[in-house]
Amino acid sequence: MRKVTTLGQFIIEKQADFPYAKGELSRLLRDIGIAAKIVNREVNKAGLVDILGDNGTVNIQGEGQKKLDVYADEQFISALRSGGECCVVASEEHDDCILIHSEISKNAKYIVCIDPLDGSSNIDVNVSVGTIFSIYRRATTEGTVCLDEILQKGIYQVAAGYVIYGSSTMLVYTTGKGVNGFTLDPSIGEFCLSHPDMQMPRDGVIYSINEGNYIKFPQGVKDYIKYCQVEDKATQRPFTSRYVGSMVADIHRNLIKGGIFLYPTTSSHPQGKLRLMYECNPLAFIIEQAGGRATDGHRRILEIQPESLHQRTPIFIGSTDMVEKVEEFIRLSA
Ligand code: AHM
Ligand code: MG
């Protein structure tokens, strides 16, 4: 029988990779894994909400039912608070960052940026959603953490990952030494290593973009989409269009099969839609670690200096050759 490696075992085995680590990062990752299992349980029950009680009603334990994105936010923050390794959380669900003050976290050095439940408009229709997280380290544990310490470029991430609540639930993460994927085995309640050392194909035939916005795209992106649709045997065109509308699901599929995900600027979202700190940076770190590429059309996502917590950016992310191709179209249209 094949040996099963759980997420917890794997994290401990890999701890030696960090010269500075005393186990705190491992504990932080483990805490995120535990919260993900709790959120997974609720996501799985989402379709039963009408039977068990909807928002504003009271469930059988006398607790009010919460929207799942709020629930996920609370679970991750609570896990990070009780873990004691994290000093501040920036979440899509909160305008300001959340400072963690507690006796056990007074020497905490890790900063976590998180989108607790991304693609939440897909929950009502039983389509995959995800959690995305990014972890940074503080240079000091002195004094209260300030905004500038949180606004670090993506290249300084010490770890990043996502959870996809899909036909099976997976947690995929990197600490800068490759990418590993774990599938939740519900029978034992553990994430088990299922996708060791994930590598993104250098090229692909899938493009993922909300084509309904075509008219609002910059010319270079319009030209690239037309390129994807033109017949050409040598490059296997026309390419296949696949768009779930949950960034995690679209990028997870493309990571495995090869492909590109695009969310450019549009006339209605001149800065792009997706958020740099907790959507684009963590996914860019993972995709680069798997051998892919992530840019805003001109610059590497990981090198953008964030100016605010909820900053948006256009993003082109996926198989290196495909991302380079769209960059070429953007350059030519300038
Ligand atoms: P959310 O954080 O409000 O869920 O929005 C992020 C999601 C991404 O998962 C997805 O790729 C994108 O929004 C889809 O946007 P659109 O509906 O404009 O295509
Ligand atoms: Mg989101």
Which pLDDT band holds residue 121 (cuts at 50, 70, 90)?
Answer: confident
pLDDT band at residue 54 under the 50/70/90 scheme? very low
> Does residue 65 carry a pLDDT above 70?
no
Q: Which residues are annotated as a binding site for Mg(2+)?
A: 92, 115, 117-118, 279
What is the whole-number distance in angstroms between the Cα of residue 186 and the centre of ligand 2? 26
> What is the mean predicted confidence (pLDDT) over 65-69?
74
| Residues facing 118 on adjacent strands | 130
- Locate the ligand 1 atom nearest the alpha carbon of residue 210 and give its number: 19
- Say whether pLDDT at 61 is over 80: no
Strand partners, 114: 91, 133
Q: What is the pLDDT of residues 72-119, one digit of tens each?
A: 999 999 999 999 999 999 999 999 999 998 777 778 999 999 999 999
pLDDT higher than threshold 80 for residue 58: no
Q: What is the largest CA-CA distance in the chain?
A: 64
Look at residue 66 in the predicted model and tell me its pLDDT.
60
> Would you state the pLDDT for residue 238?
98
> Ligand 1 test: best mutation among 114, 241, 273, most atoms within 8 Å of CB?
273
Say how many Å lie between the CA of residue 107 and the centre of ligand 1.
36
How does pLDDT run across 140-194, given as a tens digit for each residue?
877 888 899 999 999 999 999 999 999 999 999 999 999 999 999 999 999 999 9
92 CA to centre of ligand 2 in angstroms: 7
Q: What is the pLDDT of residue 105?
A: 77
pLDDT of 31: 95
Q: How far apart, in Å, are the Cα atoms of 230 and each of 5, 22, 61, 226, 275?
A: 45, 54, 57, 6, 32
In this structure, which ligand is nearest to the CA of 272? 1
Nearest alpha-carbon partner for 287 in 206, 174, 208, 207: 174
Cα–Cα distance list, 316 to 21, 23, 262 (Å): 33, 35, 5
pLDDT range class, residue 233, cuts 50, 70, 90: very high
- Contacts within 8 Å (CB) and 24+ apart, 140-147: 141/87, 141/106, 141/107, 141/108, 141/109, 144/99, 145/87, 145/88, 145/99, 145/111, 147/97, 147/309
Give the residue, 143 or 228, on which the prediction is more confident.
228
Calculate how far, in angstroms, residue 118's C-alpha sits from the geometric centre of ligand 2.
Answer: 4
Task: Check pLDDT > 60 for residue 52.
Answer: no
- Looking at residue 260, its pLDDT comes to 98
User: Is the pLDDT confidence value at 12 over 70?
Assistant: yes
% the chain with pLDDT above 90: 78
Measured by CA distance, the residue closest to atom 12 of ligand 1 is 245
Q: List, as residue ranges, the binding site.
A: 92, 115, 117-121, 210, 243, 273, 279
d(CA 69, CA 51): 19
Q: Look up residue 188 and give its two tokens.
A: 């034992």
Mean pLDDT, the chain, rounded, equals 91
Specify binding-site residues for substrate: 118-121, 210, 243, 273
Give residues (CB < 6 A) around ligand 1: 92, 115, 118-120, 210, 245-247, 273
The pLDDT value given to residue 163: 98
Output the pLDDT for position 21: 61
ipTM > 0.95, yes or no: yes
